[in-house]
Amino acid sequence: MDTPAQRRPPDPPGDGAEWLRIGGVALAVRDLGRVAAFYRDVIGLEVVTQDGNTVSLGAGGAAFLDLQHRPDALPDDPASAGLFHTAFLLPSRADLGRWLVHFGALGGQLDGAADHLVSEAVYLHDPEGNGIEVYADRPRAAWRWHGDGDGAERRVEMANQPLDAPGLRRAAETPWTGAPTGARIGHVHLRVGDVGEAIRFYGGALGLDLTAALGKAAFLSSGGYHHHIAANTWHSAGAGRRDPARAGLLSVTLDVADGPALADIARRAGTADHGLADPWGTMLTLRAAEPCGRPASPPHRS
């Protein structure tokens, strides 16, 4: 049976009222120096703070990626639940073009690239196998939605079409000098054991809207965004809870627009604080914030 989150159509596309965004991701890494250098030199993030066991990186002085040193951790298992990729959103298409030129100059090899209609994206991985997407959104006015919410659920049109890499490089009129202010984590894509269960948790407990369901993957968001959370079973069908002894994803921080929204999520999830875990043990930290610069609470759901 559909949850209320599945039945209710997404907030109107294009209004920008995202009441939830990804505030940060924490990874356990076995070689802190090597992985931190990769995110600094290849991805272009700046080191915001660091101590003996943790390096926090971001852009414009805002940290959104924490690397925690776990030298004795087992390697991540790509067939288990965990991180499929962290998606770094750049402010403009020209920024993505600059990054692509920079990556090419380093001699880097991409894992893949695609025009998703709502965005243009490239894919790679860090030295310990953690997946990465670097992308730029197309203008919201160009996104195509189907269904009217009255008997036909609204879904955003996404695809995997060839990326116009030459056009992106032509858009790069100035050199890459590192991730610009405004760069952030746009979404997190997770490996899960069951897509339906992921929809029930992230749609029900968190209150996100299902915006697309493509075979063994689901995409959910707030405020008419294409997705803040994605979940797939491409290699992890039937996976149980993550082994905490393994490197890889530790937690995801979710910025929620205001106190009442936080309280609603905590009530639905049955937790008394601002921390909870999804069905596969991925830790979620809820943080009061104004993701779009103004409060925009989700509708109250019983």
- Work out the mean pLDDT of the chain and round it to a whole number: 89
Domain ranges of the chain: 4-29+68-288
Confidence category of residue 63, pLDDT binned at 50, 70, 90: very high
Paired residues of 254 in beta bridges: 22, 286
What six digits make up the tokens of 56?
A: 């926090």
6 or 284, greater pLDDT? 284
Beta strand 20-29 with 62-69 is parallel
What Å distances lie between residue 172 and 73, 88, 98, CA to CA?
A: 40, 18, 5
Interval 106-128: pLDDT, tens: 999 999 999 999 999 999 999 99
CATH topology of domain 4-29+68-288: 2,3-Dihydroxybiphenyl 1,2-Dioxygenase; domain 1 (3.10.180)
Read off the pLDDT of each residue in 7-33 and give the average, rounded to a whole number: 74
Span of 8-17, 42-51, 218-227, 232-241 with lowest mean pLDDT = 8-17
Global pTM? 0.90
- Distance separating alpha carbons of residues 69 and 67, to the nearest angstrom: 7
Asked if 71 and 245 count as a contact pair (C-beta separation under 8 A), the reply is no
Question: Which range has the top average pLDDT, 13-27, 137-151, 184-198, 274-288?
Answer: 184-198
Interval 67-109: pLDDT, tens: 999 999 999 999 999 999 999 999 999 999 999 999 999 999 9
Confidence category of residue 215, pLDDT binned at 50, 70, 90: confident
- Distance separating alpha carbons of residues 135 and 100, to the nearest angstrom: 10
